[in-house]
Homo-oligomer: A and B are copies of this chain.
């Protein structure tokens, strides 16, 4: 019998009414805003700074992944179940998945195997409507911008060629990457170039994830930079008086969503910003709510630790005041083979020599963790094809660096396969100080902040700036945005900005091609490569095999 699909496991789960999960967190039913029986929104009132100070924040990040991904989400979910199994009140706090990729290749994104959050189908479809609300808030601003261009009254004199604000749609739709809008004569708008991004790439998403409350949300929305007038004056969202209506559209989306793991432990899913051009982690509100309700919060940040953890620590922790106690570095033997030079078709099976070389990628991430004064634990996300020899070697090498490497068997065993890792997380949280130290001061110059990341985290010799980047940098200083944290946009496949440089590259510089900035969300985005903001569909989209029967049962959602 073959291993069941994620959907089969999820549909067979003995799912509990969400009020039962809330009971475990001492939340009375009256405080829940149900979305059916298995999802609920929580009010913001549970955020309690005193409890947050006592809670243990566990950040799950990873080595640089192979194209298949190394299972950060499954480890995050499984570790939560493992912590609960050993008697800790732990909550998984995660991003919500985007709808677009569901119909492409990728399928769902709520963990996998026996480490999933459920109800899986709901989470992968419209969930509680947050992405839709974000999309509408984003596109209302777009409609107001184009309406302002069109109208004689109330006109802000915006130069359409300078507008950087884009429409979004939560769909893999490449034909919307480059469009011309406003055609068809005087009644139908001012013609101009436009792009549609996928909804997770919206700055509204980044802002929602960075906001503490409605007031903060509105202020950040108001600060969105739109473009310039013909007189070169900067135009912000607040100039269009759009932030109030946008915040109204986000009235429910700002509230975190409570669901459960397959083992009936609480999980909060909230927000889902891109991990390249944005911060790639769930909302500050969700993390704070989790920390207010649980002794342990297990959370993840998109991509490897050079991107995900770095942004989590320098952006999210900066704004929210978080200090993670433990950093779990997810690795796979497969990825070690990959970084050791094994190709696709080879790295799926034992390659001891490749592992011996490829481990340098993990070693660098361990060093990086120590740079932040964080105590890392390595989770070896287990595959049936891992050899004993490879695993033992990896454990021994970590031991030499004073770091524990523990096999994580969440995919096939759920929390039961995570008890050893959970125990080590508790040990680390209880016995080591809360020593996280950021690597840079936000008050430093943009160039210094970038150099700090490039040299200390990537291992680069230095940073170069293309002409466009130099010009953009000037705009950033002119607009007074230079004291913001940095949100690096580079490939996740390498520690460098060149995806072909596997392992632990050295003797390289990184190149900032251009800059963007999220004046509302509050960060500067150096662009170090081509960033995909609107995925496409494959030749045979996953949607072709999806079906729903007369009773509403779904098949083909992987």
- Verify if A142 is at the interface (C-beta below 8 Å from B): yes
Out of B34, B152, B244, which one reaches A543, CB within 8 Å?
A: B244
The answer to whether A244 touches B548, judged by C-beta atoms less than 8 angstroms apart, is: yes
The answer to whether A136 touches B170, judged by C-beta atoms less than 8 angstroms apart, is: yes
Q: How far is the CA of A515 from the CA of B330 in the complex (A)?
A: 60
A550 with B214, Cβ < 8 A, contacts A181-B175, A190-B175 known: yes
Contact flags A173-210 to B (C-beta < 8 A → 1, else 0): 11111111111100111100010000000000000000
Query: Which residues of chain B come closer than 8 Å to A179, judged between CB atoms?
Result: 179-183, 194
The answer to whether B34 touches A144, judged by C-beta atoms less than 8 angstroms apart, is: no
Q: How far is the CA of A37 from the CA of B557 in the complex (A)?
A: 30
- Verify if A556 is at the interface (C-beta below 8 Å from B): yes
Q: How far is the CA of A126 from the CA of B132 in the complex (A)?
A: 8
- Of the listed stretches A79-87, A447-455, A532-540, chain B binds A532-540
The answer to whether B103 touches A543, judged by C-beta atoms less than 8 angstroms apart, is: no
- Verify if A321 is at the interface (C-beta below 8 Å from B): no
Q: How many copies of the polypeptide does the oligomer hold?
A: 2
The answer to whether A143 touches B173, judged by C-beta atoms less than 8 angstroms apart, is: yes
- Verify if A505 is at the interface (C-beta below 8 Å from B): no
Query: Which residues of chain B come closer than 8 Å to A24, judged between CB atoms?
Result: none
Size bracket of the A interface: 35 or more
- Verify if A305 is at the interface (C-beta below 8 Å from B): no
Q: How near does chain B come to A463, taking the closest CB pair, in angstroms? A: 29
Query: Which residues of chain B come closer than 8 Å to A368, judged between CB atoms?
Result: none
Q: How near does chain B come to A171, taking the closest CB pair, in angstroms? A: 5
Interface residues of A in 127-166 (CB under 8 A from B): 129, 132-133, 136, 139-140, 142-144, 146-147, 149-154
16 contacts between A and B (CB under 8 A): A33-B36, A34-B34, A34-B37, A136-B170, A139-B171, A143-B537, A144-B541, A144-B543, A146-B174, A154-B540, A175-B182, A175-B189, A178-B183, A179-B194, A218-B548, A245-B556
8 A-B pairs with the lowest CB-CB distances in the bound complex, closest first:
A178-B184, A175-B189, A245-B543, A34-B34, A146-B175, A244-B547, A143-B173, A178-B183
Q: Which residues of A contact B (CB under 8 A)?
A: 33-37, 41, 99, 103, 121, 125-126, 129, 132-133, 136, 139-140, 142-144, 146-147, 149-154, 169-184, 187-190, 194, 213-215, 218, 240-242, 244-245, 247-249, 251-252, 536-537, 539-541, 543-552, 554, 556-557
